[in-house]
Structure 1
Amino acid sequence: MIDSFINYLTYEKKASAHTVTAYRHDLEQFQEFVTISFEKQSIEDVGHSEIRAWVIDLVDEGRSSTTVNRKIATLRSFYKFLLRSRLIKKDPTYKLKSLKNPKKLPEFVQESAIESVLEEAVYEATFEGQRDKMIMEFLYQTGVRLSELIGLKWSDLNLIEGSVRVLGKRKKERIIPITSALKRNILSYQKVFEERFLKANQSDYFIVSNQGKQSYPMLVYRTVKQYLDLFAQTSSRSPHILRHTFATHLLNKGADLNAVKDLLGHANLAATQVYTHNSLEKLKAVFEQAHPKA
């Protein structure tokens, strides 16, 4: 039934490839656990006690509460699917509780550091160098997700209107404005792109490998880490930290929370509000430094 559930996620729910892969991995891991621990060949037949035993085993292995909760969410989705399909009569995850997550503010790169990354770092005049520069600039100046950047095509860019069309989670489309500076940099990147691959066709992917094929996550990860290592003091060096940085810097400059929510493609305001904590910390620091009674 795992394959049926994966097909449901892929074709009906339109889940991203990353989500589908994660769900399949979780379910196969759970299948292996119940087979070894309880000699059950089918995870459709398990009950609450077996699921709880797996959760305890994950905690004993030292898995973070975030990871465990994601796996719990996978099981809940899977058994709800089986229940709707009338393949089981009772949901074994009904009484299952998620672990408490310690509150952690998203990290972001300081303005001075990101300015150094974009202005002082040496990007070679080659296609590879200019592509790397575009990756850094585009992630920071638009706040797009890694998967959204990889999926962009030249046809998604509207340099006349100064905007980019992004296909986000659950195939939800949004329009993000691009600055005149980013527009100029895109045109520069387009020039080296066309020198390398003859022409930037509308059907071509925007960020590509050295062979002109659609980029892959590790290429972007390596690029971001390489340049953040030079200037940033954050513990994280992933592409997602540039998304955090985009949101935090906008809010620090007084951007409307709802506008930032739309730019990020969040489904609800709660997901965006986490960035206001970073802004609040900045206000507290200013207050403590400037107020005579602080």
Structure 2
Amino acid sequence: MFQAEFQKWLKEEGRSPKTIQAYVQVVNDLSKWYEKQNGEKFDPQETSAYDLQRFIQKMMETQEQATINKKVASLKTYWKFLIETDRVKTDPTRKLKMKSLASSQMAPKWLTPRERSKFLDFLESPTIEKNEWKRLRNIAMGQLMLQAGLRVSEVASLDLDNLIALDKPRERKVLIRYSKHGRSREIPLNLDVTKALQAWLKVRGESKESDPAVFLSERKTRISERAIQTAISKVFKAANLPYTCHSLRHTAAKLWVNHKGIEVAQRLLGHENIQTTQRYVTPSEHDLRQAVDSTSSERD
């Protein structure tokens, strides 16, 4: 499978660690699927376009088209590596196409004001998370994503010295040192996020081997991205809200674009290209339905 060589090649191509991890994971998923389907070890040289089409069809049963497109791009990159390094002679991804998305699919999903309120009610509820230590941690993590626009990876990688002047209203902020594309940014913190962080830090306790992580697992080590997603998904499920952790960041972005403009949102989100931020100008399905309903004299 040439996993180590593929990772090295991607690094030399200038890909970020997170992108490399994602690409390798797609190849691992393909390998496991291939071996289960064919009863033999995965061999890139023996893999056909038909195999890949079946793999994609399987993904379509549970995954959105945008996610599938990213995985197709990963597979194309993998076979590009194999061809360039003379490990295979043919490229079965040549005929794989990434399907275009409708504008409604491309628009990020964000929470409505009512949904935000419901999410916070369930996030803070002792009936959803009875362990006070975990509940305060989850509230702080959720607030950082919802009101400061942090990615899951950024929440997981936060160190204590990234939290600056929490006791000074005009100076309190969070420093993101290792954000996407290797750039850094500073985000001012509002009172809601600050209070959530202070409540968590009060009960955080000591970590193993003096780990500087802001957020810890029950084992007192740095929390993983998966553990954050699991904790927040539990809240969404209890509240019957069809969202993910990244929807919280999208929600912050939408609010910033609406109230402070696209340039402010771009800087707070850490987008290198303003076209990325312009996605939040695109109306969501909820916005479209609300616009149409507003012209009706009848109400459901």
Identical aligned residues as a percent: 21
Q: For structure 2, list consecutive stretches of 5 or more residues without a partner in the other structure.
A: none
For 1:38-87, what per-residue CA distance to the aligned partner results, in whole angstroms no more than 9, with x for missing partners?
x89741466xxx22x13432354362544542332122212322344455
Give me the whole-angstrom Cα distance separating, in 1, the residues matched to 2:125 and 2:251: 21
2:179 to 168, 173, 176: 168
Structure 2 residue matching 1:61: 3-state secondary structure: helix
Deviation at 1:284, TM superposition (A): 8.1
- 1:273 alignment counterpart: 278
For 1:240-277, what per-residue CA distance to the aligned partner results, in whole angstroms no more than 9, with x for missing partners?
12112212222333x32233233223343333333222
- 2:241 alignment counterpart: 234
- 1:7 alignment counterpart: 8
Does 1:122 find its partner at 2:125? yes
Give me the whole-angstrom Cα distance separating, in 2, the residues matched to 1:30 and 1:7: 24
Within 5 A, what are the aligned runs for 1:74-85? 74-85=74-85
| Structure 1 segments (4+ residues) deviating >6 Å | none
- Would the alpha carbon gap of residues 8 and 175 (structure 1) be closer, same or farther in structure 2, given more than 3 Å must change? farther
- 1:184 alignment counterpart: 195
- 1:244 alignment counterpart: 250
Give me the whole-angstrom Cα distance separating, in 2, the residues matched to 1:96 and 1:122: 47
- Would the alpha carbon gap of residues 95 and 132 (structure 1) be closer, same or farther in structure 2, given more than 3 Å must change? closer
CA contact (8 A) 1:153 1:204 kept: yes
- 1:19 alignment counterpart: 22
TM-score by structure 1 length? 0.76
- 2:264 alignment counterpart: 259
CA contact (8 A) 1:26 1:74 kept: no
Structure 2 residue matching 1:176: 3-state secondary structure: strand
TM-score by structure 2 length? 0.74
Within 5 A, what are the aligned runs for 1:208-219? 208-219=216-227
- Would the alpha carbon gap of residues 60 and 218 (structure 1) be closer, same or farther in structure 2, given more than 3 Å must change? closer
Deviation at 1:158, TM superposition (A): 1.4
Give me the whole-angstrom Cα distance separating, in 2, the residues matched to 1:20 and 1:59: 15
Within 5 A, what are the aligned runs for 1:87-98? 87=87, 93-98=93-98
Give me the whole-angstrom Cα distance separating, in 1, the residues matched to 2:131 and 2:25: 38
Deviation at 1:131, TM superposition (A): 0.9
- Would the alpha carbon gap of residues 281 and 115 (structure 1) be closer, same or farther in structure 2, given more than 3 Å must change? closer
CA contact (8 A) 2:108 2:250 kept: yes
Give me the whole-angstrom Cα distance separating, in 2, the residues matched to 1:206 and 1:186: 9
Deviation at 1:162, TM superposition (A): 2.0
Structure 2 residue matching 1:164: 3-state secondary structure: strand
Structure 1 residue matching 2:218: 3-state secondary structure: coil
Within 5 A, what are the aligned runs for 1:41-52? 42-44=43-45, 50-51=48-49
2:113 to 104, 111, 133: 111
1:61 to 50, 58, 61: 58
Give me the whole-angstrom Cα distance separating, in 2, the residues matched to 1:136 and 1:282: 24
CA contact (8 A) 2:109 2:247 kept: yes
- 1:197 alignment counterpart: 206
Structure 2 counterpart of 1:43, one-letter code:
P
Structure 2 counterpart of 1:24, one-letter code:
V
Identify the range of structure 1 (115-124 vs 239-248) with the bigger mean alpha-carbon deviation. Answer: 115-124
Give me the whole-angstrom Cα distance separating, in 1, the residues matched to 2:286 and 2:230: 30
Give me the whole-angstrom Cα distance separating, in 2, the residues matched to 1:56 and 1:198: 47
Q: For structure 1, list consecutive stretches of 5 or more residues without a partner in the other structure.
A: none
Aligned length: 280
